[in-house]
Amino acid sequence: MTAALEGVRVLDLSRVLAGPHATMLLADLGADVLKVERPGIGDDTRTWSPPLYEGRATYFLGTNRNKRSVALDMAAEADRAVLHELAATCDVVIENFRPGALDKYGLGYAQLAEVNPGLVYCSITGFGSGGGAHLAGYDLIAQAVGGLMSVTGPEGGEPTKVGVALVDIVTGLHAAIGIQAALRHRDRTGEGQLVEVNLLSSVLAALSNQSSAHVLTGAVPHAMGNAHPSVAPYQPLATADRPLAVAATTDRQFRLLVEAIGRPDLAEDERFASNALRVTNRPELIAEIESALAAHDADHWFAELSGRGVPCGPINDLGQAFTLATELGLEPVVPAEGERTVAQVRNPITLSRTPATYRVDPPELGADGGGPIGWLADR
């Protein structure tokens, strides 16, 4: 079976998460990714632990499958020469150094494009290559200055970061999309180009409806806990034992909800006659619904409401979430088998003809030290 990105060669100069996540997605789809790491040190995330799996950081293992690793020192002339040869023959270079940092090694976009006009060069930064070029790009800082923390957490409470490096992940997705768009253009015209993504722009775009509301009305949103600024009820609701997340986003879904909980009168209440009124009168609405939900536990209401077409679900921990995905036939885990010794989270993209593949484990540092020579010989 031919993979979607078979034949695409990627020189990965990135580290930590945004860049490695992007290149892992490309590798899953068939690209040949050569990860360049510092000799004796490697990617920063090799030491980000606990937890460990058989002595290796799970952080690194979760974002570097299907890649080869070579240990090369950009400051060493001989290693730099190898990097230049690789870049001259590859399809994609991806890096997340500060703007201009690679120019002194002859590895900037303008320098490499002179010898490889078809090169797609992706640069990931924290705050762009202009006025924010001097600022370090970390997910926590992007969540803070980008407004995400200001709308996360309990109302009136401390601004809160999301529980994972979400901005890095979103930026990595943007990088993967940009690279593939640029490859499509290259295939049509022969022209490579520079692809730039940054954490701040990515988080502003990811704030979606909150960002749109601000741009169009000047509104500055604030943290509302688990409530939604524009829809009600759209939040966890208390039951007899634990909360149940309920998303009744239309009048029809609201009517189904209140009928299921034995309160059809709420659909006729003038305070709740439309979504806008339900948002305005949210405290009174939630009190009425939770009073009825107190009669049974969350599992009862999950079965009852979902059976009637009301979107809802229990608040699972991560173990329960994987169990649910497994029960639904989504096969969320790719087990270790054959030469692969590390189980992986399945790539979420399903392609009917060119599916993602899971070929090799995340590499040991410098495990493919001879890889560059072989890669050049194959070109």
Active site residues: 168
Q: Which residue has tokens 């460990």?
A: 52
Q: What is the distance between the alpha carbons of residues 275 and 353, in angstroms, rounded to a whole number?
A: 42
Contact assessment for residue 158 and residue 107, using Cβ atoms and an 8 Å cutoff: no
Contact predicate 13/105, CB 8 Å: no
Torsion 2-91-182-195 (CA) sign: positive
Residue 103 is given by DSSP the state G
Residue 148: alpha-carbon gap to chain centroid: 15
DSSP-derived 3-state class of residue 310:
coil
* Nearest partner of 94 among 67, 120, 63, 130, judged by Cα: 120
- Contact (Cβ atoms closer than 8 angstroms) between residue 362 and residue 60: yes
Helix and strand counts by DSSP (H, E) for the chain: 14, 13
Pairing of strands 344-345, 234-237: unpaired
